[in-house]
């Protein structure tokens, strides 16, 4: 009965309802809060970016350093996301399909990067590969640069985006259990065939969801990358770092132009994410991103 619409009768107060005035007040309060904290900031990115028109916007993006930052961001994401994808698949397979000692602890460890400040995520690599460390000078003598170079940026990005795919897949695969896999194996499928034809189709939307969030974070990461990159223009500058540099040079239109690309990425991510949630019920990991 409860979900059927009730006949509206002014004399009757639905016992599980606040009344019209309270509702409107709470709704307006929420909307005001969202306008000040979400909508206006988002809107301002695009307004600032187009303040001097399309020409200036295009110029800001076509400028060689900006173009290099865009290329580097794409490159970093293209390395970090597949790495974490493979890890996510392996970890969720091991955790969801088997019972073993220390599983709960392993899950906690996987979540660790979420609770570490991005700056510290960068710092750990500076300490590991910096000039004061054991590894850094050794690698340098072999001609391998980690810090203030692309490998360091990739490492820091992998660190901060580490849990995304695994976090999405573990609960999903735990829910699904092992029944389908056991059936496939009993029908003579090999382990790989079972994964490819049974498990993968079952988790594809959850996997896509995880990859989407992982990618958004990989392209947008700022703190960790800023610590390890050295911010060498045209070489080790990702898009978010380039935004910072332009902003600090008071080159607002260019800063917001590059920022608008990242905001667009966020909007596309949100749209796809919402679509996946509505269509396929993906995304049960809740609010811990």
Partner 1 sequence: MTQTATASPAKWRLKQPSIIPGFGLTLGFSLAYLSLIILIPVAGLLWRTAELGWSGFFSVFADRRTLDALYISFGTAFLAALVNVVFGTILAWVLTRYNFPGRQLVDAMVDLPFALPTAVAGIALASLYAPNGWIGSLFMPFRIAFTPLGIVIALVFIGLPFVVRTVQPIMEEIDREVEEAAATLGANRFQTILRVILPGLTPAILTGFALAFARGVGEYGSVIFIAGNIPYVSEIAPLLIVIRLEEFNYAGATAIATIMLLISFLMLLVINLIQAWSRRRYGNV
Partner 2 sequence: MEVTINNIRKEFERFPALNDVSLKIASGELIALLGPSGSGKTTLLRLIAGLDFPTGGQIFFGDEDASHHSVQERNVGFVFQHYALFRHMTVAENIGFGLKVRPSSSRPPKSEIRRRVSDLLDMVQLGGLEKRYPNQLSGGQRQRVALARAMAIEPRILLLDEPFGALDAKVRKELRRWLREFHDRTGHTTVFVTHDQEEALELADRVVVMSQGKIEQVGSADDVYDRPGSPFVFSFIGESSHLPVEVKEKTVFFQGQPIGISEAAAGGGELFFRPEDISLVEAQDALFGKVTACRRLAGTRIAEIDIANDGHAPYHVEVEVPLHAPVALGSEVRFRPTRWKVFENA
- Restricting to residues 1-30, name those near partner 2 by CB under 8 A: 1, 4-7, 9, 11-13, 15
Nearer to partner 2, 17 or 111 (CB): 17
Positions in 234-273 near partner 2 (CB under 8 A): none
The option from partner 2, partner 1, none interacting with 240 (CB < 5 to 8 A, set by class) reads: partner 1
The option from partner 2, partner 1, none interacting with 98 (CB < 5 to 8 A, set by class) reads: partner 1
Nearer to partner 1, 115 or 141 (CB): 115
Least spacing, CB of residue 91 vs partner 1, in Å: 4
Least spacing, CB of residue 3 vs partner 2, in Å: 10
Residue 141 Ramachandran class (φ > 0 left, ψ -120 to 50 alpha, else beta): alpha
What are the Cα distances from residue 165, in Å, to 157, 168, 169? 14, 5, 6
Nearer to partner 2, 4 or 101 (CB): 4
Nearer to partner 1, 50 or 87 (CB): 87
Positions in 89-118 near partner 2 (CB under 8 A): none
What are the Cα distances from residue 102, in Å, to 96, 99, 113, 259? 13, 9, 19, 43
Which H or E run contains 46?
Answer: helix 40-49
Q: Which residue has the tokens 């509206």?
A: 8
Nearer to partner 2, 15 or 188 (CB): 15
The option from partner 1, partner 2, none interacting with 191 (CB < 5 to 8 A, set by class) reads: partner 1
What length does the chain have?
289
The option from partner 2, partner 1, none interacting with 57 (CB < 5 to 8 A, set by class) reads: none
Distance, CA of 222 to CA of 247 (rounded, Å):
14
The option from partner 2, partner 1, none interacting with 155 (CB < 5 to 8 A, set by class) reads: partner 1
Contact yes or no for 60/258 (Cβ under 8 A):
yes
Least spacing, CB of residue 207 vs partner 1, in Å: 15
Least spacing, CB of residue 8 vs partner 2, in Å: 9
Q: At CA 126, angle to CA 123 and CA 127, rounded to 5?
A: 90
CA-wise closest residue to 76 among 159, 139, 132: 159
Give Dmax over CA atoms of the chain in angstroms: 85
Distance, CA of 6 to CA of 180 (rounded, Å):
43
CA atoms 80, 82, 83, 85: torsion sign: positive
Contact yes or no for 224/218 (Cβ under 8 A):
no
Distance, CA of 5 to CA of 9 (rounded, Å):
12
Positions in 36-95 near partner 2 (CB under 8 A): none
The option from partner 1, partner 2, none interacting with 6 (CB < 5 to 8 A, set by class) reads: partner 2
Nearer to partner 2, 6 or 51 (CB): 6
The option from partner 2, partner 1, none interacting with 154 (CB < 5 to 8 A, set by class) reads: none
Q: Tell the burial category of 153 from Cβ atoms under 10 Å away from its Cβ (0-12, 13-18, 19+).
A: buried
Nearer to partner 1, 50 or 247 (CB): 247
Least spacing, CB of residue 21 vs partner 1, in Å: 12
* Structure-token pair, residue 123: 């710092």
* Interface contacts to partner 2, rule CB under 8 A: 1, 4-7, 9, 11-13, 15
């Amino acid at each position: 009965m409860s979900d059927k619409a009730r006949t509206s009768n002014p004399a009757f107060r639905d016992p599980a309802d606040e009344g019209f005035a309270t509702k409107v007040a709470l709704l307006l309060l929420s909307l005001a809060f969202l306008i000040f904290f979400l909508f206006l900031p988002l809107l301002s990115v695009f307004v600032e970016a187009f303040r001097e028109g399309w020409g200036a916007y295009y110029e800001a993006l076509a400028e060689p350093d900006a173009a290099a930052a865009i290329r580097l961001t794409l490159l970093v994401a293209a390395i970090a996301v597949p790495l974490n994808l493979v890890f996510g698949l392996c970890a969720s397979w091991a955790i969801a399909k088997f019972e073993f000692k220390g599983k709960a602890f392993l899950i906690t460890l996987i979540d660790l990067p979420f609770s570490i400040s991005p700056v510290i995520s960068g710092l750990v690599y500076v300490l590991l590969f910096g000039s004061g460390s054991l590894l850094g000078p050794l690698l340098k003598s072999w001609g391998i640069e980690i810090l203030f170079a692309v490998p360091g940026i990739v490492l820091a990005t992998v660190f901060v985006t580490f849990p995304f795919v695994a976090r999405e897949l573990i609960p999903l695969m735990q829910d699904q259990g092992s029944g389908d896999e056991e059936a496939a194996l009993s029908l003579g499928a090999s382990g790989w065939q079972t994964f490819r034809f049974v498990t993968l189709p079952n988790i594809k939307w959850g996997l896509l969801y995880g990859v989407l969030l992982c990618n958004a974070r990989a392209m947008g990461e700022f703190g960790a990358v800023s610590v390890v990159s050295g911010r060498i223009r045209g070489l080790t500058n990702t898009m978010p770092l380039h935004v910072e540099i332009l902003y600090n040079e008071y080159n607002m239109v260019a800063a917001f132009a590059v920022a608008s690309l990242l905001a667009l990425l966020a909007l596309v991510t949100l749209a796809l994410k919402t679509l996946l949630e509505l269509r396929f019920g993906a995304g049960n990991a809740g609010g811990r991103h």
